[in-house]
Amino acid sequence: MKTVSLAAVVLAAAVTLPAPAADTGATPAVGAPAPDFSLTSNEGKTVKLSDFKGKWVVLYFYPKDFTSGCTMEAHNFQRDLAKYDGLNAAIVGVSVDSAESHKDFCAKEGLNFRLLSDPDAAVSMAYGSVMEYQGKKLSARNTFLIDPTGKLAKVYTGVKPAEHSEEVLAALNGLEKKS
Active site residues: 70
Q: How many helices (H) and strands (E) does the chain have?
A: 6, 10
Q: How many CA atoms lie within 13 A of 67 on its CB side?
A: 11
User: What sign has the CA pseudo-torsion 119, 122, 126, 128?
Assistant: positive
Q: Supply the angle between the helices 68-79 and 99-109 in degrees, to the nearest 10.
A: 60
For the chain, list the strands marked E by DSSP.
21-22, 38-41, 46-48, 56-61, 89-95, 114-117, 130-133, 136-139, 143-146, 152-156
Of 123, 162, 142, the closest CA to residue 63 belongs to 142
Calpha distance 143→93 (Å, rounded): 9
